[in-house]
A and B are shown apart, each in its own frame.
Chain A
Amino acid sequence: KAGVTQTPRYLIKTRGQQVTLSCSPISGHRSVSWYQQTPGQGLQFLFEYFSETQRNKGNFPGRFSGRQFSNSRSEMNVSTLELGDSALYLCASSLTSGAPWKTQYFGPGTRLLVL
């Protein structure tokens, strides 16, 4: 079956703009997590959605938000972009939330460049 897909794959924005990234999980997966990856900070957890509800949130400012639709697809939004928001944004899907044996399957990521 198809893996996790993310759109767009590459994006260039300017400071102050906003951006919306999309993630389609593996069919049947109901949990979607978002991560930000930068060379200096590595992979950092943004938030997780399960059944259209945000289950957990990482330590990011309120400019970062997300949502999940009834078909489990998820979007994340970053408002008032800053140069430091330039990163690879990864989405991961899994069957459920909270099961210790579960694994997460990652998409290819969206590379965002803020100028």
Chain B
Amino acid sequence: DAKTTQPTSMDCAEGRAANLPCNHSTISGNEYVYWYRQIHSQGPQYIIHGLKNNETNEMASLIITEDRKSSTLILPHATLRDTAVYYCIVRVSGGSQGNLIFGKGTKLSVKP
């Protein structure tokens, strides 16, 4: 299973873009990159996912490098409510169907 590496913590000013990096150098060709976040004392919330093309939705943008070994989650205009732990996850393929392996994540603090 491909593992991910994320910085432990990051700060971002309110209203600015938050760019959260993730390394997944051992990702396989059929594995997707998922991003979740978890606000304190709540369950994780799905943000976005992608295979190799850049993706955008109402919450964020996902930029995946051409070699797929890293990606960046972009929150275009961070608000205080975006303060959370952000998890970058590579989808387990093959026999381990249906589960996601979470790492430690990046604690994003949005400051006024």
Contact = CB atoms under 8 A, between A and B. Distances in A.
A90 B100 contact: no
Contact of B98 (A90, A98, A101, A105): A98
Contacts of B102: 35, 42-45
Contact of B44 (A31, A43, A97): A43
A60 to B, nearest CB: 12
B44 A106 contact: yes
A48 interface: yes
Contacts, number: 62
B49 A97 contact: no
B84 to A, nearest CB: 13
Q: Is the interface of A mostly helix, strand, loop or mixed?
A: strand
B76 interface: no
Contacts of A33: 98-100
A106 B99 CA distance: 12
Interface in B4-37: 30-32, 34
Q: Is the interface of B mostly helix, strand, loop or mixed?
A: loop
Interface in A66-115: 88, 90, 92, 94, 97-98, 100-101, 103-109
Interface residues of A, number: 28
A107 B27 CA distance: 28
Interface string A21-44: 000000000010101000000111
Contacts of A44: 102
Interface of A: 4, 31, 33, 35, 42-45, 48, 50, 55-56, 58, 88, 90, 92, 94, 97-98, 100-101, 103-109
Interface of B: 30-32, 34, 41-46, 49, 51, 87, 91, 93, 95-105
